[in-house]
Every structure is written in structure tokens, then in C-alpha cells.
Amino acid sequence: MSLLSSISTTVLAREQVKPEEAATIQTNEDIAVFERFMRGDDSAAILLFKKFNRSIFLYAAKLLGNSEQAEDICQEVWERVIALRTKPRQLINPAGFLFTITRNLCFNQLQVRKRTVSLDTIEERYLPTAMNPGMTSTEELVMTALDALKFEDRELLVLNMYCGYKFDEIATLLELSPGAVWTRASRARAKLREIITKLSQPL
């Protein structure tokens, strides 16, 4: 890529980024875009960003329960993607690769949290949360129930309900069989309903 084009792309940074609406996994297309990126095509990187950044952000935000940290995670993911150019490699599942990086970074973040402070010592109002201030009590209840799910279950529901991926796409992302994803999602939803019922019952 020429220097002039690299300078001109910086101007694009000022534009408002509009994420694409439908999140889909098209492995062959994604591989082609990734290869273009590896060869030095910056427009391919921007395509990848527009396609995946929103999903990565939502995924990280719901796993961490903190939108600021999710933003940091997103930047770290793209930093790692750019670093791939120095050590080019063949990717079979680019979307899966991006989500694996995000997942690992989220795990690290959660580990750091565990090491630094005990949740028991923090008052509830200081707990990290991505809830909107304008939420109704029912919505808060659902969010609390979602946060109470196991990491794996929450991850599945977030990918499905927030990122908009279908279950077969999630299976591709997580490199699991569609049947396993289907069963886990069913159980996770049942568990979510159960927690909501428990939380909504008067004490």
C-alpha cells in the first residue's frame, strides 16, 4: 500500500462509523477479506471492522458487564489483528479467530478483577454493570438474571440475542457442533427463565 493512501485513510477516522445491521458469518468471504488485509489492503481491514466491531463490542460488553472495558478490549483485538501482518498466517475461520481473541481478553480481564478485589468487599452499587439508567425494573431483572448465568451459557445467549448470530453460526464461531450449541442454548434459556422467576418472587 502506498504512503499516500495510508495518509488518506486517516481522514476516514473522523467519519461516523455506522455498523452494518445484520451480523452473519460467511466463512469463505471472510477468509478472502482477511487475505486481502494480510496482503496490505487497508480497505479490507475497514470492511472487517465494520462487519465485526459491533458484535465484538456487544459480546465483550455483556461478558464483562462494562462498556468502557469492552471498548478497550475492542481496541486490543484490532491491535492484534494488525500485528498479524508482521507474521502472516492462514486463517480458516476469521470470525472465530476474532471472537476467540475477544473471549481470551475478556477472561484475562475477569481474572484481573478477581485478583485485585473481592466482589464481597464491594458494595452492590459499585459493581460493574452495563445497565442503562433508563431501564425499567423488569429489564433490570432480566439483565441481572443474564449476569447470573454461567459464562458459557451467557456467551451463547449474548451471541444469539445481542450479536444476532444464528445457532449454526455460533457453532462455527465457537468451533462446536450445531447440536451441542442447540442443546446448550435451550438449557441456558430455561435457566434464564428460572432465575427470572426466582428473582421476581417476593421475598
Partner 1 sequence: MNINNHLLLDEFLEGRLTPTERKKFLTKLESDADLRRLVEAERVIKQSVISDRQGLDSIDHSSTYSFLIAGLAATAVTAAASSTATAAAKTTTTKSFTSTLLGGGSKSAILSLTVSIVASAAIGIATYQLRQDSAQAELAVPTRNSKPVPVPAIVEPPPTNIAPPEIQLKKGIAQRPAKQTLKNDKNEVFHDIYGDVIESKNNPAKNPAPK
- What letter represents residue 45's amino acid? A
Does position 49 interact with partner 1 (CB under 8 A)? The reply is: yes
**Under a CB-based contact definition with an 8 Å cutoff, are residues 172 and 95 in contact?**
yes
Q: In whole angstroms, what is the distance from residue 177 CA to residue 171 CA?
A: 6
Does position 13 interact with partner 1 (CB under 8 A)? The reply is: yes
Q: Which residues of 86-123 are buried (b: 16+ CB within 10 A; e: fewer)?
A: eeeeebebbbbbbbebbbebbeebeeeeeeeeeeeeee
From the list 12-20, 25-33, 148-156, 173-181, the region that binds partner 1 by CB under 8 A is 12-20
CA distances from 134 to 61, 131, 139 (A): 18, 9, 10
Q: In whole angstroms, what is the distance from residue 99 CA to residue 151 CA?
A: 14
* Residues touching partner 1, count (CB under 8 A): 53
Q: C-beta of 2: minimal distance to partner 1 in Å? A: 8
> Given candidates 135, 150, 151, 198, which one binds partner 1 under the rule CB under 8 A?
135
> Given candidates 108, 138, 177, 183, which one binds partner 1 under the rule CB under 8 A?
138
Phi, psi angle pair for 37, to nearest 5°: -65, -45
Does position 177 interact with partner 1 (CB under 8 A)? The reply is: no
Q: In whole angstroms, what is the distance from residue 49 CA to residue 40 CA?
A: 15
Q: C-beta of 120: minimal distance to partner 1 in Å? A: 26
Q: C-beta of 78: minimal distance to partner 1 in Å? A: 5
Span 146-175, contacts to partner 1 by CB under 8 A = 161-162, 167
Alpha helices in the chain (DSSP H): 3-12, 27-38, 42-64, 67-83, 94-116, 137-148, 151-157, 167-174, 178-200
Q: C-beta of 123: minimal distance to partner 1 in Å? A: 20
Span 113-132, contacts to partner 1 by CB under 8 A = 130-132
Residues that bind partner 1 (CB under 8 A): 1, 3, 6-7, 9-14, 16-17, 19, 40, 42, 45-46, 49, 53-54, 57-58, 61, 67, 71, 74-75, 78-79, 82, 85-86, 130-132, 134-136, 138-139, 141-143, 161-162, 167, 185-186, 189, 192-193, 196-197
